[in-house]
A and B are shown apart, each in its own frame.
Chain A
């Protein structure tokens, strides 16, 4: 079946511009996660959605970052006024929900801020 998909696969933007990154989770998965990974580093948690519960935003690095999940499915991560330090691969993952330890990751969006 279809896995997690993300778009765009690559995004180059100028410093100060806003960007939107999209994630389509696996159908039926109630949990959705956003991470970012800088070159040679581990994954940094950003935000977590579980069903209709309030999202866990504890990993968002600044108020320039926000995310929403519409209809319990597709999610959009928005970065406003991008900075060069925002350059990274942004990974989305979904899982069946509470009690599931297995996350299914998408291929990521490589963001480059010039």
Chain B
């Protein structure tokens, strides 16, 4: 399984754009990049997934360069409610994926 590295914490202010970068240097050809969000006292929640270039949904955008050795989760105009831990995972798509490594994630604190 590809190991991921991301910052332990980030601070931001309401209305700003937040970019969280994740490194996954040994990503394999069939791996997909997935991000989860976890609020205090709740289980993680899937937010976005991609393979290459750019993916956008109603919550976030995911930018993946051509070499796929890193990815950047972009949260536009964050609010206080975006304060959470964000996990980057690399998953093998189409196969059995049991042992997911969530790591400690990036703790995002949004201030007023």
Contact = CB atoms under 8 A, between A and B. Distances in A.
Contacts of B45: 105
Contacts of A41: 104
Contact of B44 (A43, A45, A53): A43
Which of A42, A50, A106, A108 is the most central at the interface, judged by chain B CB atoms within 10 Å of its CB? A42
Given A42-B104, A43-B102, A45-B98, A102 B46 contact: yes
A21 interface: no
B contact face: mostly helix, strand, loop, or mixed: loop
Given A91-B43, A103-B46, A42 B93 contact: no
Contacts, number: 64
Interface string B14-36: 00000000000000000010100
B101 A45 contact: yes
Given A101-B32, A108-B43, A50 B96 contact: yes
A56 B42 contact: no
A108 B101 CA distance: 18
6 contacts: A33-B98, A33-B100, A43-B87, A43-B100, A56-B96, A107-B43
Interface of A: 4, 33, 35, 41-43, 45, 48, 50, 53, 56, 58-59, 91, 93, 98-99, 101-108
